[in-house]
């Protein structure tokens, strides 16, 4: 079996989608189309064809690995000099482990050449440059428990668990805004506005959300005229959706130990969810670090339920 490795070519799009879909064959909602691949990957201004490595036998693509290694200002993990492993897919076969091993070995060599000191797999946004909204866990929760094949290949290659992740989902039919004395006080003291114009995002955030339709909500204190909380959500057009249901994703939230700030954030999210429900949004999804109990309790209070779990893997390279 002669396995040939090479960089991605523009003519590979259909073959890449085929490999992705075969890798995720048992999970139809994870399938990807050439249009999705074009917009979620190729259209990114930082896409580098040499960082998408293809394995083929007799000119048939059997697997690929996609990493991101760059010192781009504003990009992820630049200070730590960690590259991001965004995808590892292989067509199921008796030789799948061999394809994965060869792909990972060559990609590691190339990452080291780019100056990377280590690699990290599918980290939580904003450190996820490609495939956002696609694949297991919407490519936000690291390697999910459903992708045992990729997990095994990565561990064998020397990657080790770094952080556990939790995917969260809210069925909007069951949503009820929290109501207590503090929430009523916040309603009197503040108002929530949906930004009519597209949010002004940092360059990197705007790039990774480039294939989406982002929307911002903000909570403003009436007495001070000051924006106290901000929330970012995004959706995709019907052509890019993987399922027929209407889904909105919520940027990972940050929760502090300040109770007033937390209550304000809860009020903001609840008001945003209420508006989304009026637009017939069916599902809202987000992600968190599993160790962050403050975020977990906040999302649970709003009715979110844990939908999947995963792990971010990391490896230190030896040049």
Structure tokens at 146: 């459903």
List, for residues 239-250, the tens digit of each pLDDT value. 888 777 899 999
Determine the pLDDT at residue 77: 59
Query: Among 59-73, 97-111, 187-201, 202-216, which stretch is predicted with the lowest mean pLDDT?
Result: 59-73
What pTM does this model have? 0.91
**Residue 129 to residue 28: CA distance in whole angstroms:** 23
65 and 51 in contact (C-beta within 8 Å)? no
Q: 129: buried, middle or exposed (CB in 10 Å: 19+, 13-18, 0-12)?
A: buried
Instruction: Give the CA distances from residue 18 to residues 31, 64, 303, in Å, rounded to whole numbers and listed in that order.
Output: 9, 11, 37
pLDDT at 149 over 90: yes
CB 137 within 8 A of CB 308: yes
**In the predicted structure, residue 85 carries a pLDDT above the cut 60:** yes
Please say whether the beta carbons of 212 and 232 come within 8 A.
Answer: no
Average of pLDDT values for 181-206? 92
Radius of gyration of the chain (CA): 21
Interval 274-278 mean pLDDT: 95
Q: How far apart are CA 197 and CA 219, in angstroms?
A: 16
The 3-state DSSP class for residue 212 equals coil
Query: What is the per-residue pLDDT for 78?
Result: 58
User: Residue 282 pLDDT > 90, yes or no?
Assistant: yes
Provide the mean pLDDT of the chain. Answer: 92
Q: What percent of the chain has pLDDT over 70?
A: 97
């Amino acid at each position: 079996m002669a396995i040939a490795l090479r960089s991605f070519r523009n003519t590979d799009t259909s073959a890449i989608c085929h490999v992705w879909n075969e890798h995720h064959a048992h999970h139809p909602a994870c399938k990807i189309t050439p249009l999705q691949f074009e917009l979620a990957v190729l259209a990114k201004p930082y896409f580098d064809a040499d960082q998408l490595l293809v394995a083929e036998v007799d000119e048939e693509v059997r697997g690929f690995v996609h990493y991101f290694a760059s010192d781009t200002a504003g990009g992820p993990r630049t200070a730590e000099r960690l590259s991001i492993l965004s995808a590892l897919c292989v067509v199921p076969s008796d030789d799948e482990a061999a394809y994965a091993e060869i792909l990972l070995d060559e990609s590691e060599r190339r990452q080291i050449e780019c100056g990377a000191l280590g690699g990290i797999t599918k980290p939580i946004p904003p450190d996820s440059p490609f495939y956002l909204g696609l694949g297991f866990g919407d490519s936000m929760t690291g390697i999910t428990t459903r992708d045992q094949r990729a997990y095994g290949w990565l561990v064998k290659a020397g990657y080790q668990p770094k952080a556990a992740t939790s995917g969260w989902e809210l069925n909007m039919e069951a949503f009820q805004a929290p109501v207590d004395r503090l929430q009523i006080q916040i309603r009197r003291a503040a108002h929530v506005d949906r930004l009519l114009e597209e949010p002004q995002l940092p360059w990197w955030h705007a790039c990774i959300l480039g294939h989406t339709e982002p929307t911002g909500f903000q909570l403003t204190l009436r007495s001070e005229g000051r924006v106290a909380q901000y929330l970012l959500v995004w959706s995709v057009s019907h052509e890019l959706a993987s399922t027929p249901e209407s889904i909105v994703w919520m940027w990972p939230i940050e929760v502090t130990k300040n109770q007033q700030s937390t209550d304000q954030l809860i009020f903001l999210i609840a008001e945003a969810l209420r508006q989304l429900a009026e637009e017939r949004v069916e599902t809202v999804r987000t992600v968190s670090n599993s160790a962050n109990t403050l975020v977990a309790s906040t999302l649970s209070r709003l009715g979110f339920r844990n939908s999947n779990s995963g792990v971010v893997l990391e490896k230190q390279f030896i040049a």
